[in-house]
Structure 1
Amino acid sequence: MAPYESDESTTAEEADDLRAGRRKAARYVVPVAVVGVAAATIGLVPALADSGDPNLPKISAQQLIDKIAKSDVQQMSGTVKISTDLGLPNLGGLENSLASGAAGSGDGSSADPSSKLTELATGTHTLRVASDGPDRQKVSLLEKAAEYSLIHNGKDVWGYDSRSNEVYHATAADNAEAQKKQDVPATPKDLTDEALKSVDATTSVRVQGTAQVAGRDAYRLVVKPKQSGSTVGQITVAVDAKTGMPLKFTLTPSSGGAAVIDAGFTQVSFARPSSSTFDFTPPKGAKVTEGGRAGHGLKGTDRAPMPGGALAEGAGGMKVLGKGWNSIATFDTGGKGVPSGSRAGGQFGGFLDSLGDKVSGKFGSGTVFKTRLVNALITDDGKVYVGAVNKAALVKAADAGK
């Protein structure tokens, strides 16, 4: 079979097994904009692992994906380094002021995951993670002089920001809000599960050599779009040869340069963490915020591969155009396009101008807001087209909608 032909041998039963295996994964946190593209669909290519260091038995792409899906690591702990480079311009402090405003408004809290962990959308961060079955997980975001921790222990979900000494608390019964807080990916396993959610012929997948990650022997699974127009170059996953758990996830853009997402373990252990790891009592004097408002979850990827999932959730009649990596989500805001320059005013207006390119076509005119991964066209009459595609693909989609 040619290297880029899809494997027709996958049965419906096998596909169900893959999906069932993926549902076993523990969830943590990652920004919406990057998760959406990681969820692009893939096809299967039977290919054997190249010789390399370490020297591992040969395995096909189908067999390796089966291994990932059946991986059922219940106990583990480790350190994850995650770097995100969407190519956003320097916000000059705007991002901090917006985050502070969100945390300080209403019943908001700086310890609420939906406001705190969006920091992962840019820069390099270190996370400490631990898991002991489906009811106990912990992830800590390590900062220069502070630490933010998100702990799930039984029915309780705690968020703690040591910088502000604020605590967020929810339970599994809080209108499913607690589940939302823990159901957003951040580890290589979570990102890989998103990438393997569905299987079709829009992508080639092959095993390409071996590697060592955090002292563990691993196979390298390489995922590439077959379609032109995608901003995704390829996804590379280092899969632990023994357990099948992904140890490293790297997404590089079609434009070249540094990875957009690079998340990998620098240290990992599959021993059961100490039970005290998941214990939490609010420190003396800490401000505790109970529960949370619906819609604060960060995931948003069940709807479409796009940033700003809350905007799409609030907009009726959203459609998805195209297939696979070239999927474009479109919806009508019911109003005017996003203002820029003097109409937006101040620092925010300058930020929009720095991101946007004015475009025109049969649809009329609008602005394309761009990152290295996810791009969005907002027309002057308020229609939105967004996906992991280039500017030309967005304009083409808008023209076709007229």
Structure 2
Amino acid sequence: MDFILLDYTALRVIWWLLLGVLLIGFAVMDGFDLGVGTLLPFVAHTDEERRLVINTVGPVWEGNQVWLVLGGGAIFAAWPPLYSVSFSGFYLAMFVILFALILRPVGFKYRSKLESTRWRATWDACLFIGGFVPALIMGVAVGNVLLGVPFHIDDTQRIFYTGHFFGLLRPFALLAGLLSVAMLVAHGAAMLVIKTDGPVARRAARIGSVAAIASFVLFVLGGFWLSFGLPGYAIGSTVVSDGPSNPLLKTVTVTAAGGWLANYQATPVLWLAPIVGLVGALLAAAWLRAQRGGLAFIASGASIAGIILSVGFAIFPFLLPSISQPGSSLTAWDASSSHLTLWIMLICTVIFLPIILAYTTWVYRVLKGKVTVAEMGSNPNAY
């Protein structure tokens, strides 16, 4: 069609990049909320301190979850087969994440309704679960993408998932889950240093610096595992980047250990992503130790972006490899929506994403400054 200015290949690459941007946006923006929830039992020892921690993210956590909605919507609209496999095959895992996320708003709203110590401790535990569990399982999901997922597609394009929930908890996937928790805890700690003073900020800085070092170590371990112990996947037939969305029109081979590094070997500039991930983690640890919250937040955010990009660059053009039938693996070239759908979605994104960014910037500008006990006492809307 004449009004479509970008070809199918370009649109598929753009939407692959946009999916990465949305995942990074979620991990950076909602990630510190999850990190703060995970830190709650460890940095706040009194009820007053716990209220202080909760109110650092209380006004913004709902807005930050926009990135989760955008990411899920992008997968649904731009990559329907990927949505089908991940949201149905991982149904129990998704349910656990959803249940944990539901605990967050309930915990925020109900915690201070009663003065009872047991009541408040129960909701504090719910807020911890609402931070820790999604961070862990989302990391486990990314680890399973690198390992490959048991699914296949029949001749009628029906997708069959043949795995189960506990099959997702493989050692490499659990390492990825721990990495996810560590990097989000460091990110949440940086936000607490920005928004609080006194004992809470000092404890957050100490724990966050340890978490940042842990994320560095776990990322390095994952890299070695990927290089020497984990097979990759490669397209064995001619690559048709502008062909129909039918994953069965290609062949896929399982490579030897280190196969996921082929893109890095072919394009050395991609090594900048893991370097940013590692250097960002070290800088975050150092600046947290120095209680430089703003710099630590930037560094931890850069580390998160570098780690996510490292995975994306490694697996491209794969979106979700199949361990049971490699030929059914989903790639950016054969698992997208139509040319017209991707084009219309791109126009909508160009219009609305800047609005979301502008509004988010305005909100954080209005809410800048530290949360204090005096402010909570004078604010009837405080949690």
The two structures have a TM-score, normalised by structure 1, of 0.23
Larger relative strand fraction: 1
Larger relative helix fraction: 2
The two structures have a TM-score, normalised by structure 2, of 0.24
